[in-house]
Structure 1
Amino acid sequence: MRAGLHSRRPVLNAPMPHGLSRKIRIAFILQVVMASLAIVIAFFVVGTLFKYSFIRSSLQEEARHYWELRESAAAQPPPNTFSLRAYLVEPGGSAEALPAYLRGLAPGFHELKSEGQMVWVERKPQGTLYVAFLREQANRLAWWFAVLPAMLALFAIYGATWLTYKSSKRLVSPVAWLARQVSRWDPRRPDIAALAPDRLPADMQGEARQLAGALHALGERVEAQLTRERNFTRDASHELRTPLTVIRVASDMALADETLEPRLARSLRRIQRAGRDMEAVVDAFLILAREPDVVPQSEWFDVCEVVHEEALKARMLLGDKPVELQVACEGAPRIYAPPRVLHVVLGNLLRNACSYTDRGLVEVTVHEGLVQVRDTGIGMSAEALARAFEPFYRARPEYPVGTGLGLSIVRRLCERFGWTIELESTLDSGTTARVRFSSQPPPGTDPYLQG
């Protein structure tokens, strides 16, 4: 497989900015605020309508009633009550008997704020009638018949909203409790004990209890799966290494025979190299299978030594191809990691370069913090490059080379040790791969051990 992009570490769970309970609380607060604004506006509208509609209508009715009474009894006096005053100026009569603030008022409704009165003036052939309602009485009536009912309605809305909020909070609290428990889970070691049926809160019933049971069952399955993976890693570490050790020891003993034929000796050395490669791959797989917080056995080593060893093995893949493999160490970096991991990374990159290059050059350059593998092979298109390190993807299926897992393993190993793998490629022009790493000692490592 020949494809690639910059490798990046995935971003794991990010905490949610707001919990469900807080969202419900905010929703109810907004509801109360909006209801309060609506009631305040209703206060103003009702008070205004009361004063300018109800009072006006009352004054008109008082005037109409007075004129009816006057028709039946001409000597009927204008009304004069606790909250109502009326004055009549007959045709040709003097307005001197009127209060000064009523003189000169045109027919219609008037609000005299300075005098604290609302006046209805009605002119007929029988005379001009002035009906005045005391504003203080109007305000008192507005309070009892408009503002007070509106306030009671507002308090009723507040009470209903509060009861609804408490009920909603009580219904949501089991789900919020479950969310808090699950958010504390370590994906590598989920603590599912709190979700056991006998440890659930007493108020968790119905769908919430069913959800807790499902999460508990899921956690048990995750725990079982993690246990199987740990057991496999432990068992594979032993079972895979044992036959490889036997192969290595047996080939060493066979090569110690001085009477061995050259052709057979070459085959045994190939078996030895293949065994070492297999050990490196097994180590790499076991590192990937371990928990991220389990630090693998590491040491300081020279990057150029690993490059030369892998280049020597890669030259055998070229065979009779008109391809030159060059190694240039323009620096002497040392890094702290398992040496076999870098063997696997560089081995995969060099195998790809040699397998997909039919003529030209394969060049390995070492700088401080960087190893670059460049070839003049078949390259890859932008579409193939975009499918960077997908497992089992092969950019050129017509080339019967590899399974498409090489670069996927390379990327995962680089991510495991904080390295960066980059690929650049042009179709029919070649590919350049770069592995970037830090030559500084990792945290907690004695820098004097580098020597």
Structure 2
Amino acid sequence: MDSSVKAVPARVGAFRKRIAWVFGLQFLTVLIICILGAYNVVPTVAVVAVIVVITIVAWFTTRREWRPVRALARLVNRWDAQQLDPETLKLDELSHHADADVASLARGLHGFATRIAGYNQRERNFTRDASHELRSPLTVIKMSVDMLAEEEGLSDFGTRSVRRIKRATREMEVLVEALLILARETDTATEKEYFVVNDVLRQELESARELLAGRPIELLLQEPARFALKGSPQAFSVLCWQLIRNACQQTEQGSVVISVLPGVVSVRNQANPQVSDDALRPVRVHGVDRHGFELAIAQRISDRFGWPLELQTQPGHENIARLCFPHTLPVDAELAEKDQQR
């Protein structure tokens, strides 16, 4: 912080005192001139002229006292929050005669700009490091698991282990994508893409079916409607994956139904509370876990992109997660837009 702002604390309230003196003298002068005019000591024209002059002088004096505040407002208006150096605020441009209140605002602004700059730097470092340092080993693990799965003579235990590693790798990959989405700043170019909701859901279901191989859970897709969105297909994919994964964890046996309705995507799990053949015990049925990690990530993404998420538990061991989309687009909107541009 510049020395001029640091040296002002002794002048606390000086602005208010000077303004009080200006208006006090103005009132006293007007009162005296009005009394003199009332007793015909001074002509009426002179009274009006003196009042006008005093008002103009008071206005210029007040304007001069307001200059430090205007200078601070101009500095804030020129400030770019993306700048990593808080010194770009140029707070040293403030007048050396700035009031202590203005200096306090400047110090607070400087501290706030420093924190914002540090946050921006940490965001860039995290997104850069996470994109490279986490994705690279995950790619190696995926390739190694695929090669191991093609080995001949792999035992049943080895096959199950490979399947678990593949599932954990996919979950870790989606988690990294979710953290990167939440860490990046909004209004980027990737968050304004046109995509069809049904197509993204089909891709997620294909990936989920591979990871659910061997488990008595059936994934179903119902498409009474088709619609598109303008946003981040990656964020929508991660959001749906978290809901599907959470629904699969709600029960050990049953079905997970994903329905595409007009402006709504619902994920519901229907547990089959019958006795399993191998364990001879009832299948566990869970209610909606509103504090699960999957739903916590899903809730943050839905809040980030303005896609409200509703959770319900209905009779018959059925849990429903419903995504609402206030601004939907027709499936052929992108083609129509391209035709208009042509």
- Cα distance, 1:324 vs. partner? 7.3
Q: Which residue of 2 aligns with 1:327?
A: 221
1:303 aligned onto 2:197: no
Helix, strand or coil at the partner of 2:267? strand
| Deviation string, structure 1 residues 331-377 (Cα, Å, up to 9, x no partner) | 45566766543332112223444445699875321246542224579
Q: Which residue of 1 aligns with 2:161?
A: 267
1:285 aligned onto 2:179: yes
What percent identity do the matched residue pairs reach?
33
- Cα distance, 1:261 vs. partner? 1.2
Q: Which residue of 2 aligns with 1:410?
A: 298
Amino acid at match of 2:266: Q
Return the alpha-carbon distance in structure 2 between the equivalents of residues 444 and 287 of structure 1.
Answer: 28
Taking structure 1 as the reference length, what is the TM-score of the superposition? 0.51
- Cα distance, 1:201 vs. partner? 4.5
Q: Structure 1 pair 222/340, CA: closer, same or farther in 2 (3 Å)?
A: closer
Q: Which has the larger radius of gyration?
A: 1
Helix, strand or coil at the partner of 1:174? helix
1:374-385 matches, within 5 Å, as 374=268
- Cα distance, 1:284 vs. partner? 2.5
Structure 2: unaligned runs, 5 residues or longer: 1-18, 272-285
Amino acid at match of 1:303: V
Q: Which residue of 2 aligns with 1:382?
A: none
Return the alpha-carbon distance in structure 1 between the equivalents of residues 140 and 256 of structure 2.
Answer: 35
Return the alpha-carbon distance in structure 1 between the equivalents of residues 335 and 62 of structure 2.
Answer: 51
Q: Structure 1 pair 147/430, CA: closer, same or farther in 2 (3 Å)?
A: farther
- Cα distance, 1:222 vs. partner? 1.8
Q: Which residue of 1 aligns with 2:235?
A: 341
CA contact (8 A) 1:311 1:327 kept: no
CA contact (8 A) 2:205 2:219 kept: no
Q: Structure 1 pair 315/286, CA: closer, same or farther in 2 (3 Å)?
A: same
Determine which structure has the larger helix proportion and give its number: 2
1:420 aligned onto 2:317: no
CA contact (8 A) 1:304 1:329 kept: no
Q: Structure 1 pair 419/401, CA: closer, same or farther in 2 (3 Å)?
A: closer
1:16-415 matches, within 5 Å, as 145-146=39-40, 148=42, 152-189=46-83, 192-193=86-87, 195-201=89-95, 204=98, 206-209=100-103, 211-296=105-190, 302-306=199-203, 308-309=205-206, 312=209, 326-331=220-225, 340-356=234-250, 362-367=256-261, 370-374=264-268, 404-414=292-302
| Deviation string, structure 1 residues 392-416 (Cα, Å, up to 9, x no partner) | xxxxxx9896854434432443465
- Cα distance, 1:266 vs. partner? 2.5
Q: How many residues align?
A: 293
CA contact (8 A) 2:264 2:323 kept: yes
Helix, strand or coil at the partner of 1:365? strand
Q: Structure 1 pair 279/296, CA: closer, same or farther in 2 (3 Å)?
A: farther
Return the alpha-carbon distance in structure 1 between the equivalents of residues 242 and 60 of structure 2.
Answer: 62
Return the alpha-carbon distance in structure 2 between the equivalents of residues 243 and 445 of structure 1.
Answer: 42
Amino acid at match of 1:168: T
| Deviation string, structure 1 residues 135-170 (Cα, Å, up to 9, x no partner) | xxxxxxxx9944946665554444443333322221
CA contact (8 A) 2:246 2:295 kept: no
- Cα distance, 1:240 vs. partner? 0.8
| Deviation string, structure 1 residues 21-80 (Cα, Å, up to 9, x no partner) | xxx9xxx9xx99xx99x99xx99xx9xxxxxxxxxxxxxxxxxxxxxxxxxxxxxxxxxx
Q: Structure 1 pair 324/272, CA: closer, same or farther in 2 (3 Å)?
A: closer
Q: Structure 1 pair 351/313, CA: closer, same or farther in 2 (3 Å)?
A: farther
Amino acid at match of 2:105: L
Helix, strand or coil at the partner of 2:178? helix
Return the alpha-carbon distance in structure 2 between the equivalents of residues 199 and 444 of structure 1.
Answer: 53
Amino acid at match of 1:248: K
Return the alpha-carbon distance in structure 2 between the equivalents of residues 281 and 159 of structure 1.
Answer: 71
CA contact (8 A) 2:265 2:324 kept: yes
Q: Which residue of 2 aligns with 1:79?
A: none
CA contact (8 A) 1:189 1:223 kept: yes
| Deviation string, structure 1 residues 69-124 (Cα, Å, up to 9, x no partner) | xxxxxxxxxxxxxxxxxxxxxxxxxxxxxxxxxxxxxxxxxxxxxxxxxxxxxxxx
Larger RCO of the pair (alpha carbons < 8 Å, separation 6+): 1
Amino acid at match of 1:434: L
- Cα distance, 1:291 vs. partner? 2.8
Return the alpha-carbon distance in structure 2 between the equivalents of residues 427 and 156 of structure 1.
Answer: 81
Q: Which residue of 2 aligns with 1:121?
A: none
* Root-mean-square deviation (Å): 4.7
Return the alpha-carbon distance in structure 2 between the equivalents of residues 305 and 264 of structure 1.
Answer: 29
Return the alpha-carbon distance in structure 2 between the equivalents of residues 332 and 326 of structure 1.
Answer: 16
- Cα distance, 1:245 vs. partner? 1.4
